[in-house]
Structure formats: structure tokens, C-alpha cells
Amino acid sequence: MGKHVILGTAGHIDHGKTALVKALTGVDTDRLKEEKERGITTELGFTFLDLPSGIQMGIIDVPGHEKFVKHMVAGVWGIDLVALIIAADEGVMPQTREHLDICRLLEVKKGLIILTKIDLVDQDLLELVKEEVTEIVKDTFLKDAPILPVSSITKEGIPQLISVLDRLSEEVEERSTDGLFRLPIDRVFVMKGFGTVVTGTVVSGTVSVGESVQILPSNVEAKVRTLQVYNRPVEKTMAGQRAAVNLQGIEASAVERGDVLVHTHTLAPTRMLDVYIEYLPSAQRPLKNRTRQRFHIGTNLTSASIFLLDREEMAPGESGFAQLRLEAPVVALPHDRFVIRGSGVIQTLGGGVVLDAHPARHKRNAPSVIEDLTILREGNQDQAIAQHISRSGMGGIASDDLLKRVSTSSSEVQRVIKKMIDQEEALSIDSEKMKVIGIRFYHQLREMTLAQLKEFHQRFPMKSGLAREELRTKLPMEVDVKLFQILLNGLIQSKEILLEKDKLRLPSHQISSVDEKGLIKRVEEAVLKAGLQSPSPKELSEAWSEKEEGIQAVFEHLVHEGVLVKIKSGIYIHRVPFEHLKEELVSYLKKNKEITTPQFKEMTNASRKYAIPLIEYFDQIKLTIRLGEKRVLRSGSEH
């Protein structure tokens, strides 16, 4: 398959674009009704030309009328060359300038200028128009472009035009077929015997017959039944080609112009974009923060609220960073170009480039945000990938998610990930998902884990350690099970944490050293001996002349170990007398159905100070329920 190049026409309405295309190719791109019957490639008038060198040139004839500018953006997105068409009898018109602005904003790299209708003017007027044209393109990508005078009627200049198109096409860089497959849809129709057909220019990647595809943003899935490129059936179509895709298993009503065709589960729609905006010098007034404008990307049109990130307003001719919040979801990748339009007659206000298609909401005027975006704008692919890994913080990021945020191939992303792992800038935390975390965040998590254990030991010096799950809950939410496991294994391996009987502790923490006076044993014995009227930590500390915090810690430790039951603040009962009392209460209630507070006090043989909290504790653990002055067994309670 030879080289494919796509030429788009631009210029004012009635400047002879359609007639010129017909003179070049013999196809009238304006005959919509006949074309629909003829088959696949039309509206946004579409045709193709076999150039002398064997290059196949697709031609998109973009309507020049103002309301067709959205077709214009759609068309320009996939074009390699632009032909700016100016009628010699009318010269440069407002729309000529607007189309030139759009081509510049969408970064069309190459083009030529065609002066049509030369049969209607004399040589002097033609020279004047040439001068005027040279003047308006002098600061643009067309400054050195060839200017070709032609007549579609007499065919004068057409052979020269074909040879210039051939030469320019040879200079066009072929589009890389790497990267994710994307085809922004500009037409949808039903063909008898075939079903749903969509057309568009493949802007990246490749697609083959039989593959599964997805329509975004609606996420509807389909299969590629057949493919055509320039009215010829093919097995595969690739970046830079104009394709018609016959989709199986999908109704035409489920697809609309502006949707994007991709391979299943590769890209995700977004309602927020970080961008770099260029505001045109020709704009009438400054662009204020939070302004809402129309937003064109690919074949899609929606509206966007523009949040300027580094200023309050942007003067005509200025550029800067912004976050766009979109009314409807779009599909975008970094390096995609877009156009912003207002609602005047000449509407194009500016445009720019996508930096991040799945950003977080940003604080305005935050230096760190501007630094990040500057790296995404000016850095190379490796730096952009490293930046996204860094921005993913303590949760890390999988290679699939990275692919949605950088416009490169899966193999490139994996190469950069591998390089970062080799250079110890990142750590693999899930080999299945190719998920990595920036090394700086991994070290922060290690420090955090050790700090959490240290704090736990300080608060509960009598506890032997912390259970795994409990420790995990003390770390940030985004730390998943696999990452937590890697973290723990690393810390256990380096002996910074010890694992004993399913409890984690720091090597410096030992209960025996905390309890050199044997307080644990003494407290347990004292509380057991006192039965249901046990001393409080304060009373024991006074009796033994020990610090109250130390005794309190021992009580808490014994509760944690299940030796003591904490009835309320200051009242602890040993598990053994507590269980006896519980059994006695249950059998009493089963026999007598109810018990009063005095009866319970008698059963415990304890003062009100202990009896009241005890009976209330049984209510609290849902063993009993209070009805007036009496207690009964709660139905369904576990006895």
C-alpha cells in the first residue's frame, strides 16, 4: 500500500473550492443526494486523487460558509496539507483570515495558496491579489508556500497544481501507526445490505476487519465488519487514511458525528482538560476567567468553562495555562489541538493544545500546578510519563491509565516504566497491571508505616503490637492490598518491623522492658481477687505508689488481651467473675422473666457504685433491655 496524504481546502464561501476539486478529480463533491446513493465517501465533500508519483491523496472539501466552521475543525484535524483558496476576483475576505487562524491553531504544518477564477481578472488585478495574500500569510506557516493561479473553467494552471501537490505530498511525514487507534467520526449512515457505516480520518493507530471497537463517549461496542479506503475494500486501515468502517452489532442511531471510534477499553471520555491556550490577537476583548465558550475538538463540538490557572484575564495575543470543564464528555489525548469559538460572526477566539486529559481539579495561581503543566507542555514523552507517575502519588498508576494520559504507544510507556524501575526512580507494585509508584512516595509510605507503629507503641505500651489490617487502615486510602503487602514485606525483610504471632511491632518495643516491675501480673491478680468490686487504676496507683498513667496502660492492655472487661471509665471487672455473673443473670431471667435493680444489686452483692454500671453494661451489650424499672432478656440476644 503506497503513501497516503490528506489535503483539506480552506477559504471563503463561493471562492470556487468545489469547482476546483471537480477540475482536479472529475468529482463534484457537492452532489449530496447522488453521492449518498453512490456509496461511502461524502459530505464534508470527500474525494481522492491518484498523483503521478503513485501517492494517493484524499481531498476534504470543507464548506466555507460560517456555520460550517465546525466541519472545518473536524476536517483539519486529520489533514496533512491545506490549500488556502482565494478567488482572484474578490481577494482576501474575513473568512479567509478565520480559516487561516484555525489552520494555525490546529498546527497544520504545510500548505499552498491557490488563486481561483483567474479567467475573471486581468494580470494587474491578479498581481494585486498576490501581494495582498503574501501580506496576510507572512507570519504564518504559509509564508513560504507556493501561490498557484488556476482556472477551474479553462483548466489553466491545473497541471502545475498537480505537480506541486505531488512534490508537497512527498515532503509530508507519514503518520506513525503506533499509538492507540482513534477515528473521530464525521459521518454516520445506513447502507443497504451492510448496515451502519461511519467515516472519518484515522488520526492514530490501525484497525483491522474483525476487531472489536467501541464508540465513545457512549461506550457502545461493535465489530468491524468491512473497511473501505477511497472506495476500495481493505483488510486494515491506518493513521493518515480516510476510512469508511462498516460496524456490526450496532444501530446507526447509537452513533453520532463527534463520537470517536477506538479499540475496546483503551480510552476513556473526560469532562475536564488541562490545556495551554493561545488567545488570538484579533479577539475583540480580553478572555476573563470562567468564561464559557464553544469548544471544538476532533469532530466534536461542546461548550467549555475556561478556568485560567495563572491570571485573572487573558489579553488578545496572550497565551497561558487553563483548565477546561466541559458540558459534555469528549475523547482527548495530550498534543491534541482544539479551537475555541465565541458567538459573533467571525467567531474563532483562540485554540491550543491538550496537556492532560484526566486531570484533578486545580487550585488557581498555584506555582506547583504551573510547574507541572510546564513540564507536560515543554518536556519530552519520558518526562511526561515520569510526571504522571509522580502525580499519581501514593496510589501509583497502571500502564493502561498512563496510556490514557500520554499520546504514545503501549510499548513506549512500558519502555519508560522499565527504565525508571532500573534507575530506581519507580517501583513495580503490580506486575499484572504494570502498575508503578514513584520511589519518593514509596519511601514516604515506609516512613509513615514506621511512624504509625511508633505512635501505637507510645499510646499502648502494654500491647505486643498491631494487627496487619489495623495498620493498613492507618495508611492513606489509595494504598491497595498489593502495595501494602510489598511495603510490609520490605520492612520485615530489612528487620525494621518484626512480625510475631500475627502482630507487627518495632524491634525496639518489648513489653517485658515496659513491665519490669511485673505490674501486669499484679494488676490482674488484684482485680480478680476483688471480684465485682474491683479497684480503679487511680486507687491501685495510690495504694502502690505507682504512676497512674503506667497503671492505666496496664488496665488498657489487659482489656485488649481480653483479660479484663471495661464496664465504664474507671470500672474494670476480671473476665472470670464477669462471665459467672452473666450466666447467673441469664438463668435468673429465663426463670423469673424480669429483674429489678434492687434484685440485681442483691445478686451481685455489690454496692450501687458497681451494680448500676454493671446492669447498664448488660443493656449496652444488648443482653438485657430496660422496661420501666425492670430488665428483661432482649429477644434474639446471644446467650
DSSP string, 495-523: TSSEEETTEEE-TT--HHHHTTT-HHHHH
Catalytic residue among 4, 15, 17, 110: 17
Cα-only R_g, the chain: 38
**Which cell numbers hold the place of 545?**
505508689
Contact assessment for residue 82 and residue 7, using Cβ atoms and an 8 Å cutoff? yes
> Which helix (DSSP H) or strand (DSSP E) does residue 253 occupy?
none
Classify 597 as helix, strand or coil. helix
Catalytic residue among 4, 9, 12, 18: 18
**Which cell numbers hold the place of 233?**
475494500
Could you write out the three-class secondary structure of 186-207? EEEEEECCCEEEEEEECCECEE
570 phi-psi bin (left φ>0, alpha ψ -120 to 50, beta other) = left
In this structure, the dihedral spanned by the alpha carbons of residues 89, 94, 99 and 101, taken in order and rounded to 10 degrees, is: 130
The single-letter DSSP state of residue 536 is: P
The single-letter DSSP state of residue 173 is: P
Catalytic residue among 65, 155, 454, 568: 65
User: What residues contact residue 160 under an 8 Å CB cut-off, 6+ apart?
Assistant: 148, 150
Best CA proximity match to 332, nearest among 244, 385, 272, 277? 272
- Let me know if 18 is a catalytic residue: yes
Contact assessment for residue 471 and residue 464, using Cβ atoms and an 8 Å cutoff? no
The number of beta carbons lying within 10 Å of the beta carbon of residue 459 is 10
- Let me know if 65 is a catalytic residue: yes
- Grid cell 500500500 is found at 1
Contact assessment for residue 433 and residue 483, using Cβ atoms and an 8 Å cutoff? no
- Let me know if 538 is a catalytic residue: no
Residues marked active site are found at 14, 17-18, 65
